[in-house]
Structure 1
Amino acid sequence: MSQKPIVSVAAKSLSGKSAKPSFKSLFLKSVAIILLALSLAGKATAEVTPLALKGADKSDILRVQKYLNGLVTLKSRFLQASSTGNFAEGTFYLSRPGKMRIEYDPPVQFLIVADGTWLIYHDKELDQITHLPLGMTPADILVQDNLSLLSGELIVTKIERGPGIIGITLVRKDDDGGQITLIFSDKPLQLKKWIVVDPQGIKTSVSLLSTQRDISFDPKIFNVKLKSGTWTPGDK
């Protein structure tokens, strides 16, 4: 799996070092980017067939929409797994609208932050920043204000139900073949997992564990600290 199209076409990166990253660093970096930013390198859009919504489908979509719009803050441990065989753990922070932090446990040396405008990837080993417009990534679905799942910008392609479980698969209308599936426990409705599939078919899942809602965060956790100081949008 190569992360070159994502970095060179879809994002800009900053680095004060010329050292080459290790294979492990490149591999884990590509998994992290896939998690929250489907490849934007392709110009052609795929044909997407919207799900023919029945009454129960629309009702569940609106319940999920209301739940997501009702989230203010959330903190959770997570387990990330990729179809390439990679696993990682860490802590997930959400502060709506706009803010998110995915902090991986050691020995993984990277951090993902949404600051309201950018989705920022920090390679701590290289002290390097890569960033993408937040609105062009699946992360935007979790952090945007007044989310609408029936607006036409997002297309529902599948709804799955199991005992106490609801899963909704979404694509953007101008997407190039990737998708995100949000999985919720039911009664009460609670986000439990998301699965991102990139245009090459690589699947990355994130399972949330021990979730806490409506807690206070230090706003500084949504800043990115470089060895040279705090990264700001002006550094782009």
Structure 2
Amino acid sequence: MKFAALMTAAVVTLATTLATALPAAAEKLSLNQISAYLNDLQSAQGAFTQINEDGSISTGTIYIKRPGRVRFEYNPPEEALVMANSGQVIILDRKLGGAPESYPLSQTPLSIILARNVNLGQANMVQGVSFDGTATTVVAQDPKRAEYGSIEMKFTGSPVELRQWVIRDSSGSSTTVVLGDLSRTEVSNALFDVRSELAKNNR
């Protein structure tokens, strides 16, 4: 399937998701409302669709356990796993094997969502806020590490829900993650055990 068709399908899926999730009269969310929602999102899991810079699309399950922990488990035919824990992001490609990639969580704007205390009102963090009649979009960056890029987050209201984010890195490349409904369930700490995953990868 060509890039344009993939993007069209992704946009249609997102639009349908947003439309079914919205109340009759949506209102723009405040930064305080969004910060409170993210701080309250302690443990959750759900489906995600990832649209990469080259137009390729991946799907899988995301597990979140704030602060500081997230797991992206990709569906076949991919055999990738991305985890964040203890301040590090680990990227494993079980298909290729070999040593995993690793870098500090602070070097990705996703750290804003996973912070112990999310405060979008702090100076120089939010670069823009918009409302299209259905969803509130917030563009943010770590004011101490602006060189690592930004994250564009899309939220619906009543109740507040995170629906999508786009991460743009320092080179201008972007990765979009569209979320299904996040189930607020207790996620096991074992899912973020990096050593266990590395041991599996070496078998």
TM-score tier (shorter): 0.7 to 0.9
SS of 1:176's partner is: helix
* Counterpart pick for 1:79 among 49, 69, 72: 49
Which amino acid in structure 2 is aligned with residue 94 of structure 1?
I
SS of 1:90's partner is: strand
Deviations 1:121-140 (A, max 9, x none): 11212142221122232221
Q: TM-score, normalised by structure 1?
A: 0.67
How far is 1:219 from its partner?
Answer: 1.3
* Counterpart pick for 1:211 among 172, 182, 198: 182
| Map of 1:144 onto structure 2 | 115
Question: Residues of 2 paired with 1:229 and 1:68: CA distance?
Answer: 32
| Map of 2:129 onto structure 1 | 159
* Equivalent residues of 1:101, 1:221 under 8 A apart: yes
| Map of 1:100 onto structure 2 | 70
SS of 1:200's partner is: coil
How far is 1:158 from its partner?
Answer: 1.1
* Counterpart pick for 2:153 among 157, 182, 187: 182
| Map of 1:66 onto structure 2 | 36
Which amino acid in structure 1 is aligned with residue 198 of structure 2?
L
Question: Residues of 1 paired with 2:92 and 2:113: CA distance?
Answer: 20
Deviations 1:106-148 (A, max 9, x none): 1212111111321111121214222112223222112111122
Question: Residues of 1 paired with 2:187 and 2:200: CA distance?
Answer: 24
Question: Residues of 2 paired with 1:178 and 1:162: CA distance?
Answer: 24
Deviations 1:167-192 (A, max 9, x none): 00012223227211011111211000
Q: Which runs of 4+ in 1 moved over 6 A?
A: none
Change in Cα spacing, 1:148 to 1:210, as seen in structure 2 (3 Å) is closer
| Map of 1:114 onto structure 2 | 84
Which amino acid in structure 1 is aligned with residue 87 of structure 2?
T
* Equivalent residues of 1:84, 1:202 under 8 A apart: no
Which amino acid in structure 2 is aligned with residue 226 of structure 1?
L
Change in Cα spacing, 1:218 to 1:169, as seen in structure 2 (3 Å) is same
Which amino acid in structure 2 is aligned with residue 119 of structure 1?
V
Structure 1 gap segments, 5+ residues each:
1-55, 231-236
Change in Cα spacing, 1:217 to 1:228, as seen in structure 2 (3 Å) is closer
What percent of counterpart residues are identical? Answer: 26
Cα RMSD between the aligned structures? 2.2
Question: Residues of 2 paired with 1:146 and 1:178: CA distance?
Answer: 20
Change in Cα spacing, 1:166 to 1:228, as seen in structure 2 (3 Å) is closer
| Counterpart check, 1:126 vs 2:97 | yes
| Map of 1:15 onto structure 2 | none
SS of 2:146's partner is: coil
Q: TM-score, normalised by structure 2?
A: 0.77
